[in-house]
Amino acid sequence: MTIHFASIRARLILAFSVLLGLLLAVAAVSLQRLEVLTATTQEIVNYQARRVFMAQSMNLHAQAAAIDLLKLLQTPERDQRVPLYAAMDEEMAASAKAVHDLAQTGLAADLQSYIGQVTDLQQRYATLLQETVELLEIEGPTKARTHFEDRTHKVLNTLLFESRALETHLQQMMQSRLEQLRESATQATHLVVLLALCALVAGTGLAWAVARGIVLPLQKAVSIAKVIASGDYRQDVPNGRRDEVGALLRALRVMRDSISNREEKILRLAYIDPLTDLPNRTRFMELFDARVSNASGALMLLNVDRFAPINNALGYKVGDHLLCQVALRITRSAGESSLVARLWGDKFAIMLAGVDQLTAADKVQQILAAVRAPMTITGQRLDIDASVGVTLYPQDGTEITTLLRHVNVAMTVAKHRQDSMVFVSELDNEPDHQQLSLLGEMRDALVQGEFIIYYQPKLNLKQNKVTAVEALIRWRHPVKGLIPPMQFIPFAEQTGFIREITPWVLRQVIEDAADWRHSGISPVVSVNLSTRDLLNHGLVEDIQRLLMQSGMSAEQLCLEITESALMDEPELALRHLNELSAFGLKLSIDDYGTGQSSLAYVKTLPVDELKIDRTFVTAVDVTPRNAAIVRSTILLCRELGLSVVAEGAETAEELAWLKSNQCDFVQGYGVAKPMPLTDFIPWVQKFNHS
C-alpha cells in the first residue's frame, strides 16, 4: 500500500514523529532498565548484603563464645570466671539471634537446610558448652578441658565450618546476583545504543527522503526559472505533487505565462503601431537593418495630403479610420515581399527589395492609385491624395537613418511641388552641416548668455530725431565670433526653438528700455515675432505680464510681423493681434510688398505702420519703378492713417528722396548700423541733441 502525503508539512511531521518515537523508546528502555537496576541494587542492599552480614555476625559471635570458653578453661579463680560466663552467654545469644534473623529473610530451600544444620549445631554446642561449664565448676578445669577437647571442640569446629560455608554460599549468591546485574546493565547499554543508532539511521533516512523530496523539485524549479529568465518561455513546467513544491511549480507556470503575455504585449507596444497594426518606426528600422545586407532596393515615404483638415473637420475617429484604410491599401498594393510600416502621424514607409528606379516608380504609381481610390467613412465620401519620396539603396546610402532623412526631404519637396513622387537622386541640396551644428548649440547659448541684443535706430524724418528703434538679436559665439541672425533664426523657427528665444528677447528689450528711460531718451522699440510666436496661445498673456512687471508703457513697444506669419492659421493670428492692439501695443507689418495679399492684410489687420522692404528702397532715387511703388505706399498709408518705415536706406540720395516724398521713418546703414546698448544710448543722446 502506497501512502501519499499531501504536503511537506505532513512529511516533516511524520519524520519528526518517527524520530521522536524512537527517542521516546530509548528513554523508556533506559528508564525501565534503570528501574530494574535500582530494584536489584536495592534487593542486594536489603537482602543479600544483609544476609552476608548476618552470617558473618553469626560466625563472629560463635567464635567469640569459643574464645570466652577457652578463657574460662584457663581461669582458675571462680570470681574471675563470672564475667566471662556473662560474655559467653551474650555471644551465644547474639549468634543464635543472627541465625534466627537469617532464617526470617526468606532464603531458598537449599539455604534453609544450611540454617537448619547451623541451628542444630548451635543447640548441640550450647548443650556441650553447658556441660563443659558444669564440669569446670564441679570437677575442675582438667575434666572440663578434656570434655571440651573430646566433644565440645569438635562440635564448635563443625559449627564454625558450617557457619563459614553458609557465609561463603551467601557471598557467592550475592556475587552471582551482581554478575547478573552487570550483564543486565551491559544489555541495557547495548539496547539503548542500538535504539539510538536506529533513531539516527531512521532520522537520517527520513531527513534525506524529505530533503530529496524538497530539493530535487526546487532544483528543477530553479533551472526552469533560469530558462524563463533567459527569455525562453517554451520551457515545460511539471505539475508536481499536491504539496508546497507543487504549488510553487504551478505558480512558476502561471508566472511564465504571465511574463510571456506581458512581454508579448510590451513588444507589441514597442514595435507595432496600435492603430494600423503595422510595424512602427523602431521595428521598421530593425527589420530594415536585418534584411539589408549588401542588397539593393527602394525605400519610400508616403504622406497623406490634406490629412490635418480632414482630421479637424470630421474628427479624430474618422481620421484614424482613414489611416487604417490607407495602411490596408498600401499593404495590399506593395505586395507580400514588401515591408510596410507607419512611422508617425500620416507617414508610411515602404521597403521594396531588389527593385531599380524604374520598377520602384511603377510600384509607387500602383500604391498611389490604390490610395487615391474614393473611400466612404461614416457615410462621408473622401477623396485623398498622397506625396511620395523615394530613395534607392545602396546608391543613396545604406544606413536607415540616412535613408529616412533623405526620403523625408524628397517627400517634402514632392508635397511643395504638388508632385506625386520625387526621387532623392533628383535633389542636390544637403543641409549645411555648419548650420546644423549651430542649431545644436543654440540651447546652450541661451543658457550661457551668449545671445545679445543690438539696436538699430529709426530716424523720424519730420523731426530729424531718433524716436524709434528695432531690436535685433545677435549670437556672440565663444569660438566663431559674432553670428548674424540669418544663420540661426530660420532654423530656430523650423525647430520651434524660436519660442524660447522670443520670450528672452522681450524680457531683455524691456529691461534695456528701462535703462534708456533713465538716460533721458524714450524711443519706441520694435521686436520681431515669428509665425510660431504669433500662433502661441500664451503670447498675449506673457507680453502683458512682462509690461506690467516692468512698468513700461504698452505704447513704447511695437511688434513687427511678416505677412507670411499670417498664412498658416489666419484666424488665430488675427485674434492675437486684436488682443495685443487692444492692450495698447503698436503693430507693424514687416517686409511689406513681398507677400501675396498685402492690401488685404492692410485692410483687415489692426496695424499702426508698414515697413517697406529694402528691395524697393534700394536705389529708389534712380529707379522709377521702385519710386512708384514706394510713393504709392506712402500715399496709401497716409490715407489709412499708418506710419511708413523705409528700411535698407544706405545713401544720402535715398534719404533725401524719402524725406522729400514725406516718408515717416528711415532705417538703414544710411542712418546707423545696429549697435549694442552701451553704444546705442550715447549715440542717440548725441544725435538728438546735435
Would residue 475 count as lying in a domain?
no
Of 206, 223, 246, the position where a domain reaches its end is 206
- Same domain? 505 vs 652: yes
Is the CB of residue 535 less than 8 Å from the CB of residue 496? Answer: no
Would residue 586 count as lying in a domain?
yes
Predicted pLDDT of residue 152: 77
Predicted pLDDT of residue 131: 80
Tell me what percent of the residues of the chain surpass a pLDDT of 90.
30
Domains of the chain: total: 3
Distance CA 328, CA 448 (A): 50
Of 397, 426, 455, the position where a domain reaches its end is 426
Distance CA 54, CA 103 (A): 10
What CATH number is associated with residue 172? 1.20.120.30
Host domain of residue 339 = 281-426
What b/e readout covers 501-537, taking b as 16+ CB neighbours within 10 angstroms? bbbebbebbbebbeebeeeebebbbbbbbbbbbbbbe
- Same domain? 195 vs 287: no
Q: Mean pLDDT over all residues of the chain?
A: 81
Residue 644 DSSP one-character state: E
Tracing cell 529694402 back to the chain, one arrives at 614
User: What angle do the packed helices 244-271 and 153-229 form, to 10 degrees?
Assistant: 20
Average pLDDT for 308-314:
80
Distance CA 122, CA 96 (A): 7
- Same domain? 629 vs 527: yes
Would residue 490 count as lying in a domain?
no
Average pLDDT for 166-176:
75
- Same domain? 401 vs 505: no
Would residue 690 count as lying in a domain?
no
Is the CB of residue 651 less than 8 Å from the CB of residue 631? Answer: no
Would residue 487 count as lying in a domain?
no
CA dihedral 275, 280, 281, 282 (to 10 degrees): 140
DSSP character string of 514-544: HHHHHTT---EEEEE--HHHHT-TTHHHHHH
What confidence category does residue 370 fall into, taking pLDDT thresholds of 50, 70 and 90? very high
Distance CA 676, CA 42 (A): 125
CB atoms within 10 A of CB 399: 14
Would residue 137 count as lying in a domain?
yes
Average pLDDT for 410-426:
85
Predicted pLDDT of residue 351: 92
What b/e readout covers 177-199, taking b as 16+ CB neighbours within 10 angstroms? beeebeeeeeebeebbeebeeeb
What CATH number is associated with residue 647? 3.20.20.450
C-alpha cell at 679: 553704444
What confidence category does residue 566 fall into, taking pLDDT thresholds of 50, 70 and 90? low
Nearest C-alpha neighbor of 479 from the set 536, 434, 539: 434
The sign of the CA dihedral 435, 437, 441, 443 is positive
- Same domain? 61 vs 194: yes
Nearest 5°: the CA angle 533, 536, 537 is 150
Distance CA 108, CA 50 (A): 15
Summarised one tens digit per residue, pLDDT across range 447-505 is 899 999 999 999 999 999 999 999 999 999 888 888 888 888 887 887 778 889 999 99
Whole-model pTM: value is: 0.48
- Same domain? 193 vs 46: yes
Strands (E), 397-542: 421-423, 451-460, 465-477, 481-483, 524-528
Distance CA 389, CA 410 (A): 5
Distance CA 181, CA 41 (A): 8
Distance CA 324, CA 366 (A): 18
Would residue 94 count as lying in a domain?
yes
Would residue 504 count as lying in a domain?
yes
Of 179, 206, 233, the position where a domain reaches its end is 206
What CATH number is associated with residue 378? 3.30.70.270
